[in-house]
Amino acid sequence: MMVPEREGPLTMKFYDCATAPSPRRVRIFLTEKGIEVPTVQVDLRAGEQFGEPFRRLNPWCTVPVLELDDGTAISEAVAICRYLEERFADSPLMGRDPREKAIIAMWEHRCEVDGFLAAQEAFRNRAPGLKGRALTGATDVEQISALADRGRARVLRFFAMLDERLADCPFVSGEAFSIADITLLVTVDFAAWAKVPMPGELSSLRRWYEMVSARPSAKA
Ligand SMILES: N[C@@H](CCC(=O)N[C@@H](CS)C(=O)NCC(=O)O)C(=O)O
């Protein structure tokens, strides 16, 4: 990773890893909003997240990170999206009024905790390349294979619940595309990659997946 020199006018920088699901949540968000931010690729396989200078930016040693013009570093995908949503108000993805904002936050949180984190639990507790790396962060944590099994069961339970939800409305949080759809899309793709594919019989979830995957932002 090359940390860009601070010369001339300062600009935001997005610390990304093109193959990782968490920064993809922000990439899709940026694409939906039509915002382009200079991007720095962090090589997670090579362990760049653990070295200086990245650790100075984010002691949690994770991507994504958004570095603001004044040097402030924001990590956590949803916190970055919140900042972008407030700063670039066009094409709102996190709601327009108190009710909408709360409903979207509720669904986004459910998708993150019960979906995305469950897929991460399934994947990180089994992947041979992540031995001793069951959790992100600077200190090593051993894998527990029972947690991989539990993560898989949690993902399948989550998919079934979302299938019921999506039988009632076109998008996760209601009538419009939102950050909750982004978290679910990244979860479905990540889970499939981690060998927990969406079951074929969940027709509402599949209908939603085909529609959302066809958006240009899904390529981000
Ligand atoms: N809660 C964080 C999670 C970020 C995260 O887990 N990022 C992964 C990539 S998907 C990472 O940086 N992993 C570094 C590692 O495995 O050491 C967020 O939402 O941004």
* CATH number of the domain where residue 174 is located: 1.20.1050.10
Task: Identify whether 104 is part of a domain.
Answer: yes
Question: Which contiguous run of DSSP H or E holds residue 15?
Answer: strand 13-16
Q: Which atom of ligand 1 is nearest to the CA of 137?
A: 17
Query: In terms of domains, do 102 and 82 share one?
Result: no
Q: Are residues 121 and 37 in the same domain?
A: no
Q: 151: Cβ–Cβ under 8 A, 6 or more apart, which residues?
A: 118, 119, 120, 121, 122, 123, 125
* Portion of the chain with pLDDT greater than 70, in percent: 95
Q: What is the pLDDT of residue 6?
A: 44
- Out of 9-13, 16-20, 112-116, 123-127, which region has the weakest mean confidence (pLDDT)? 9-13
User: Can you give the residue range of the structural domain that contains 60?
Assistant: 13-87
Domain shared by 179 and 138, yes or no: yes
Q: How far is the CA of 159 from the centre of ligand 1 (A)?
A: 22
The amino acid at residue 57 is: L
Which of 4-8, 9-13, 143-147, 162-166 shows the lowest per-residue confidence on average (mean pLDDT)? 4-8
Nearest CA to ligand 1 atom 10: 22
Mark whether 22 and 81 lie in a shared domain: yes
What confidence score (pLDDT) does residue 10 get? Answer: 45
Ligand 1 centroid to 8 CA: how many Å? 31
Share of the chain above pLDDT 90, in %: 95
Ligand 1 centre from 195 Cα, in Å? Answer: 19
What is residue 66's three-state secondary structure?
Answer: strand
Q: ∠ at Cα 105 (100, 111), nearest 5°?
A: 130
Q: How far is the CA of 23 from the centre of ligand 1 (A)?
A: 8
In a domain, 204, yes or no: yes
First-last CA distance in the chain: 20
Rounded distance between C-alpha atoms, residue 37 and residue 127, angstroms: 32
For residues 114 and 209, membership in a common domain is answered with yes
Give the tokens for residue 148.
Answer: 């991989």
For residue 146, being part of any structural domain is answered with yes
Q: What's the mean pLDDT when you consider all of the chain?
A: 95
pLDDT surpasses 50 at 8: no
Instruction: Give pLDDT, residue 9.
Output: 45
Pocket residues: Cβ below 6 A from ligand 1: 20-22, 44, 49, 61-64, 75-77, 133, 136
- Residue 7 pLDDT > 90, yes or no? no
For a mutational test of ligand 1's pocket, the pick from 48, 136, 140, i.e. the residue with the most ligand atoms closer than 8 A to its C-beta, is 136
**Residue whose CA lies nearest to ligand 1 atom number 20:** 76
Are residues 59 and 117 both part of a single domain?
no
Residue 169 Cα to ligand 1 middle (Å) = 30
Res 2 pLDDT > 60? no
The residue contributing the CA closest to ligand 1 atom 16 is: 136
- Predicted confidence at residue 11, as pLDDT, reads 83
CA of 15 to the centre of ligand 1 (A): 11
pLDDT, one tens digit per residue, over 173-189 is 999 999 999 999 999 99
